[in-house]
Structure 1
Amino acid sequence: MLRGFFTFLLLALFTATASAKLYRWVDETGRVQYSDKPPSITPSSGISELNKSGMVKTTPVPVISKEAQDQKLQEQAQQKEQQRKDRALLQSFSRPEEIDIIRDRRIGMIQSATIANTMRLQTATQRKERIEKQMSRLNKNNRPIPADLDAEYALAKKELLDINADNKSKLNDIEIVKAKAEEDKKRLLELKSPAPK
């Protein structure tokens, strides 16, 4: 009876030892750690599970940081966007010269707006000069400048500033259109050229 109990106890201990898991990981200081329990905080290198011979049973999957995950998602989104742009480019153009035609059309539209601005600039300059003459006459005669004339002068100056700023912005738009066209032509040629073997 006693012998049977010891046999049962030995079998129970052997079974418990055989089924016990062993884990291996590298801690934050770079030291290898072993334990029958995994660490409470998963290390960045991951955790290996060992078999009873001490060999790696499961290879650890490295833990990816939130920053690395965000960067990977951003890269995937950029890749998808580039693929979408490439499809649109191939569907819209068959030759680089077609891109030049669209570029010139867009530049022409912007230049039309700058011509309209030139006419506005001329009118606003004449109005400002007329107001300045009125103000000069009033100053010579030692008369006060009416508030409405002063306000009109401020508006004329602001209009000139706005027109000049808009012209500058439109010149910048023309450079952007040119740069985009060159970029699209280069990409179209890359997509059309046969893949290296």
Structure 2
Amino acid sequence: MLRGLSTFFILALLTASASAKLYRWVDETGRVQYSDKPPVTTPTSGVTELNKSGIVKTTPAPVLSKEEKDKIQNEQAQQKEQQRKDRALLQSFSKPEEIDLIRDRRIGVVESAIAANAIRMQNATPRKTRIETQIARHKKANRVVPADLAADLVSVQKEVFDIEEDNRNKKKDIENIKAKAEEDKKRLLELKSSK
């Protein structure tokens, strides 16, 4: 009876030690620590679980810095956005020529706005010339330039500047539309060929 009881205790101890876990980590001072219990605070290097032979059973996931986490999140967001764009491209177009049609329509709208600006400029330019001539006559006669005439000149100069600036922006818009269409056509062909 006594012998059977001692055998039971020995077997129980062996079973307990076989199933016991061993943990390894590096503490804040840089020293490697071992214990049968995980540390209370999470070390920066993570906690490695070892089996009874001291072989690594599970390796901790690396602890990432805020910058690394942000970078991963940004990459995932960009990947998700690219997938959304790819789906939209495949749903919207079946061949590159359709992209060309949309491109030409968009360019046509911008060119119409440039044509409207040309008409505005045809009206503003002679008005500006007339006001400048009147101001020059006042100055030549050594008369004070009326305030409303000076204000008209400032107004018409601003209008001319705004029209020219708008035309420059519209020309950039046309270049962007063309570049986007080429990019979309290239991507559409890549997506179609990968299917």
Q: Under a length normalisation based on structure 2, what TM-score does the superposition of the two structures give?
A: 0.81
Deviation for aligned residue 1:52: 4.3
Unmatched 5+ stretches in structure 2: 1-5
In the alignment, which residue of structure 2 is the partner of 1:144?
Answer: 144
Deviation for aligned residue 1:115: 0.9
Return closer, same or farther for 1:152/1:163 CA change in 2, 3 Å cut-off.
Answer: same
Return closer, same or farther for 1:97/1:65 CA change in 2, 3 Å cut-off.
Answer: same
Residue 59 (1) aligns with residue 59 (2):
yes
3-state SS in 1 of match to 2:94:
coil
What is the rounded CA distance, in whole Å, between the counterparts of 2:28 and 2:176 in structure 1? 49
3-state SS in 2 of match to 1:40:
coil
Deviation for aligned residue 1:41: 4.6
Return closer, same or farther for 1:122/1:28 CA change in 2, 3 Å cut-off.
Answer: farther
In the alignment, which residue of structure 2 is the partner of 1:120?
Answer: 120
In the alignment, which residue of structure 2 is the partner of 1:42?
Answer: 43
3-state SS in 1 of match to 2:49:
strand
3-state SS in 2 of match to 1:24:
strand
Return closer, same or farther for 1:46/1:91 CA change in 2, 3 Å cut-off.
Answer: same
Root-mean-square deviation over aligned CA pairs: 2.7
3-state SS in 2 of match to 1:156:
helix
Number of positions where the alignment pairs a residue of Structure 1 with one of Structure 2: 182
1:22 and 1:34 in contact (8 A); partners too: no
Kindly report which structure 2 residues correspond to 1:136-175, keeping only aligned pairs within 5 A, or say none. Answer: 136-175=136-175
Deviation for aligned residue 1:22: 4.1
Aligned-partner residue type, residue 173 of structure 2: D
Kindly report which structure 2 residues correspond to 1:51-130, keeping only aligned pairs within 5 A, or say none. Answer: 51-130=51-130
1:24 and 1:32 in contact (8 A); partners too: no
Aligned-partner residue type, residue 34 of structure 1: Q
Aligned-partner residue type, residue 131 of structure 1: I
3-state SS in 1 of match to 2:32:
strand
Deviations for 1:55-100, whole angstroms, at most 9, x for unmatched residues? 3343222212222222222222211211111111111111101111
What is the rounded CA distance, in whole Å, between the counterparts of 2:192 and 2:53 in structure 1? 57
Q: Under a length normalisation based on structure 1, what TM-score does the superposition of the two structures give?
A: 0.81
What is the rounded CA distance, in whole Å, between the counterparts of 2:149 and 2:167 in structure 1? 27
1:124 and 1:160 in contact (8 A); partners too: yes
